[in-house]
Chain A
């Protein structure tokens, strides 16, 4: 059933309000499409009630319309109009975040961006708080992994033709140029395009020894499968967008999955209490294993909730609290590590391979 947006809002409210439903509660907006809902559910379950400020309510807004610009803008408008909204977590990608961020900036609502990587996010003003490493950082990481770690000399790039993909491409080109190298081929991709033809012609044209794949898990899986099928010797290096729901990735990638190097911001470590609790709760609530994206979204919700808890339902104060992390106050200890919103702060970036479905860190590529 396709739910209208207001209905979705109500439904999610009801769902979350089952935990803490009092009226006048501080609200955290959650701006992710349907498949990103799990972190919100886990976070809602994790949020304790607070007698000082009342309950913190998470109101999700997802529409089955995908992440097209119009849908994202409409979503942002609805979240901004929510009574008591103290902050929003979202949006899913760089493009959707860039398009919607001005709406939050104009409304004076803190926007915590957990997974988008565009460097442009840092130029959107004092109300936007990117959590993930920027595309320039990730591109440098990918470049080092490819050139220094995997010793590649002919690198081709296959990317989704969105702000995320073009951002990684631009920064990777820059990084390679700084090393007197260049991509042997660049292949943009959009949903609906004939990926097989594009890949086949590209491989014939450029004969790379390493392919950098930039896209979401299905797109990357398809690219990997096609490349692997054509030439199994080509190393496959995926950007962070692929590391989400590994089971689906492995299923779509087929035999190529074992050859795939995945970039991720987080790998679950059950030896760490915070992570162990999160993973346990995530499994309990969803019956699934948390992905790095879910962990990041969960941290985004929880850091916003912590801000509201400490300073009260005041957007300006929440903004200042977030900005003070790592400066006037210690970083927030999240599931994915220490969280600050300071540009240039150290981020967790790791390269992993899948061994029988289990991610294993690749030591030679280094850990950022």
Chain B
């Protein structure tokens, strides 16, 4: 296990795949078992079979011959008795004896001769012949008795007895040979069995010798790489993305390890990239306040100058241009802040899709002029709200617009990006098409997968993947096809949230019938930036308000205390030294609760405002988002918001 770059490419040892190795090991074990079994069978089976094959007919033949000889001996004894009795003879007994002696011997005996071992065959055959001779001789005696030749019969009986003895000798000899042969075969089998068992022991020892080798091989090829991977995954789970596992072989696990390394490298790269984005966001947020304040000051001073009726027309036009440009710069800065912080903020449930799209266009609009791109944005102003977080939806549109800009840059002007929108039964739809080179056919199926990009090193390959995830989270969908103009076209579908979201200006919210000027309104203006505070104060004073100024929260509390809290409304910056706006609001809640509800805040840092949320938290106090004005803001908007607060609140004591 190692952290950091691990040498992989070019150092893989070529090796058979794990599957092949596994099959090989199983095959080897199988062959080994089969081999031992086969060896045992080959060494012992033939001997056993042979012993059985040779023993069965021998035993069978012995049984036949013994049965036949015993029967014959009994018949000979009977015959001897008849011969001894002499005349007049016993015809019935003789007929019985004659029939017995003429009986067909068991027909198996003939075949058995062919089955017995050759060494015994002669002895068996000779014994059989002796039996046959005895049978015939006994029949001769029977015949002589039948013919009444008792003396001849008695004489012949001696020969019969001699033949019986001869038969017994031959049978004994056959039996001796048979037993000898069986014992020899048994010894051979026993010897073969012993040899086979010894050989099996040798085989087992060889098997035991190879077992560690097999286990080592299995560990080396499977255990160790898997352990490396497990450790690597553990490190990743603990947050260490800089981990690389060794790629030991070019097999499945080797490829897995390589993919793992590639994955961690990508994750590491993404993490670093994300970190840079986060840092950039923080930087932007930090700078925004510092930039917004001068922008607000410029805007305020410019507006104040524009109030001068003696102003020359040329000067007025110049000041108007300054005002517009400062407003544009402020808007752009707000957009950047919002976009940079979109991932870390709580999500809203619905969004004004037209507004979101407009803001996304604003973010990338500077590229249109540079790249000579014409944007045809057909946004229906009466689109209903849709489900989804505005900031995340804005991220989708920025991604799609960035892709489109990148695409159309690859073709010669005229370059066009077109946006269309509408509502149907399924919800809100939008299309974004361009006249760029289009999506390569090979990418169509993989377009929304991670790390698929046509931008090479310039792209992460995550934009469309994340966009689809955002849309799906919102219950929507995105798909791509070819635009009629020949470029790419993305179709988005979002679930309608039902309500119409008209753009309502602060001025619209001023209730008719109530005071519409700041005449006589006591205002405490709290801001540490004198360059900003002074022009605002002058503007409000010119509008008839009685304006007191304070440089921070502490000073503001002193003024309030000095006047016993008799202010109609407070206009306070959120970020100030000593005591910021939030702390001031907290103190007001404690000391002058009524006044706490009549504070309008100014902020140059969007980070204080939770996008989409109606409130912001600061300690225990809650500041409604609509009470915060983002710098730079037109002084008329400040006036309007102050009027709203004044109208809403009961008069100051």
Given contacts A99-B114, A201-B142, A201-B143, contact A170 B107 (CB under 8 A): yes
Bound complex: CA of A194 vs CA of B147, how far in Å? 13
Bound complex: CA of A99 vs CA of B111, how far in Å? 9
Q: Does residue B139 face the partner (Cβ distance < 8 Å to A)?
A: yes
Residues of A within 8 A of B104 (CB): 166, 169-170, 173
Given contacts A69-B125, A98-B114, A120-B111, contact A188 B136 (CB under 8 A): yes
Most buried by B among A70, A118, A194: A194
| CB-CB contacts below 8 Å: A88-146 with B | 95, 98-99, 101-103, 106, 118, 120, 123-124
Given contacts A69-B126, A99-B121, A204-B146, contact A161 B110 (CB under 8 A): no
Minimum Cβ distance to chain A for residue B250 (Å): 53
The 8 A CB mask of B493-514 against A (1 = contact, 0 = none) is 0000000000000000000000
Measured CB to CB, the nearest residue on chain B to A125 is: B114
Contact between chains at A205 and B140 (CB < 8 Å): no
| CB-CB contacts below 8 Å: B115-141 with A | 115, 118, 121-122, 125-126, 129, 132-133, 135-137, 139-140
Residues of A within 8 A of B95 (CB): 205
Contact between chains at B132 and A161 (CB < 8 Å): yes
**Cβ 8 A contact of B146, one of A73, A194, A205:** A205
Contact between chains at B114 and A120 (CB < 8 Å): yes
Contact between chains at B107 and A103 (CB < 8 Å): no
Bound complex: CA of A66 vs CA of B111, how far in Å? 22
Contact between chains at A190 and B133 (CB < 8 Å): yes
Q: Does residue A163 face the partner (Cβ distance < 8 Å to B)?
A: yes
Residues of A within 8 A of B105 (CB): 166
Residues of A within 8 A of B114 (CB): 98-99, 101-102, 120, 123-124
Contact between chains at A194 and B140 (CB < 8 Å): yes
Measured CB to CB, the nearest residue on chain A to B111 is: A120
Contact between chains at A197 and B110 (CB < 8 Å): no
Q: Does residue B144 face the partner (Cβ distance < 8 Å to A)?
A: yes
Measured CB to CB, the nearest residue on chain A to B137 is: A193
Residues of A within 8 A of B140 (CB): 193-194, 197-198
Contact between chains at B122 and A205 (CB < 8 Å): no
Bound complex: CA of A202 vs CA of B152, how far in Å? 17
Q: Does residue B613 face the partner (Cβ distance < 8 Å to A)?
A: no
Minimum Cβ distance to chain B for residue A77 (Å): 9
The 8 A CB mask of B550-574 against A (1 = contact, 0 = none) is 0000000000000000000000000
Given contacts A200-B147, A201-B144, contact A123 B111 (CB under 8 A): yes
Q: Does residue A320 face the partner (Cβ distance < 8 Å to B)?
A: no
Minimum Cβ distance to chain A for residue B44 (Å): 22
Q: Is the interface of B mostly helix, strand, loop or mixed?
A: helix
Q: Does residue B326 face the partner (Cβ distance < 8 Å to A)?
A: no
Residues of B within 8 A of A188 (CB): 102, 132, 135-136, 139
Minimum Cβ distance to chain A for residue B140 (Å): 5
Bound complex: CA of A163 vs CA of B113, how far in Å? 11
Given contacts A173-B104, A201-B146, contact A98 B129 (CB under 8 A): no
Contact between chains at B111 and A194 (CB < 8 Å): no
Given contacts A98-B114, A124-B114, contact A186 B102 (CB under 8 A): yes
Residues of B within 8 A of A198 (CB): 136, 139-140, 143
Minimum Cβ distance to chain A for residue B411 (Å): 84
Q: How many A-B pairs with Cβ below 8 Å?
A: 101
Interface size class of B (residues with CB under 8 A): 20 to 34
Residues of A within 8 A of B137 (CB): 193
Residues of A within 8 A of B133 (CB): 161, 190, 192-193
Bound complex: CA of A101 vs CA of B125, how far in Å? 14
Residues of A within 8 A of B111 (CB): 98, 120, 123
Measured CB to CB, the nearest residue on chain B to A191 is: B133
Bound complex: CA of A219 vs CA of B649, how far in Å? 155
Contact between chains at B122 and A70 (CB < 8 Å): yes
Measured CB to CB, the nearest residue on chain B to A195 is: B140
Contact between chains at A161 and B125 (CB < 8 Å): no
Minimum Cβ distance to chain B for residue A119 (Å): 9
Residues of B within 8 A of A192 (CB): 133
Given contacts A98-B113, A98-B114, A197-B143, contact A69 B132 (CB under 8 A): no
Bound complex: CA of A353 vs CA of B115, how far in Å? 40
Bound complex: CA of A190 vs CA of B133, how far in Å? 6
Measured CB to CB, the nearest residue on chain A to B143 is: A201
Bound complex: CA of A239 vs CA of B107, how far in Å? 20
Minimum Cβ distance to chain B for residue A188 (Å): 5
Bound complex: CA of A170 vs CA of B113, how far in Å? 18
Contact between chains at B126 and A118 (CB < 8 Å): no
Residues of A within 8 A of B449 (CB): none
The 8 A CB mask of B76-97 against A (1 = contact, 0 = none) is 0000000000000000000100
Residues of A within 8 A of B98 (CB): 205
Q: Does residue A364 face the partner (Cβ distance < 8 Å to B)?
A: no
Most buried by B among A69, A98, A106: A69
Q: Does residue A356 face the partner (Cβ distance < 8 Å to B)?
A: no
Q: Does residue B156 face the partner (Cβ distance < 8 Å to A)?
A: yes
Bound complex: CA of A140 vs CA of B126, how far in Å? 30
Q: Does residue A361 face the partner (Cβ distance < 8 Å to B)?
A: no
Residues of B within 8 A of A306 (CB): none
Residues of B within 8 A of A70 (CB): 122, 125-126
Residues of B within 8 A of A73 (CB): 118, 121-122
| CB-CB contacts below 8 Å: B530-567 with A | none
Residues of A within 8 A of B118 (CB): 73, 102-103, 106
Given contacts A99-B121, A102-B118, A194-B156, contact A166 B143 (CB under 8 A): no
> Could you list some 21 contacts between A and B, CB below 8 A?
A69-B125, A70-B125, A99-B114, A173-B104, A185-B102, A186-B102, A187-B102, A188-B102, A188-B135, A189-B136, A190-B129, A190-B136, A193-B133, A193-B139, A194-B140, A194-B144, A197-B152, A198-B136, A198-B139, A200-B143, A202-B143
**A contacts, CB < 8 Å to B:** 68-70, 73, 95, 98-99, 101-103, 106, 118, 120, 123-124, 161-163, 166-167, 169-170, 173, 185-190, 192-194, 197-198, 200-202, 204-205
Besides A193-B140, A194-B140, A197-B144, 11 new A-B residue pairs in contact (Cβ under 8 A), listed by A number: A68-B126, A69-B126, A98-B110, A99-B121, A99-B125, A102-B115, A170-B107, A188-B139, A197-B152, A200-B147, A202-B143
Closest 4 CB pairs between A and B? Answer: A201-B143, A69-B125, A161-B132, A201-B146
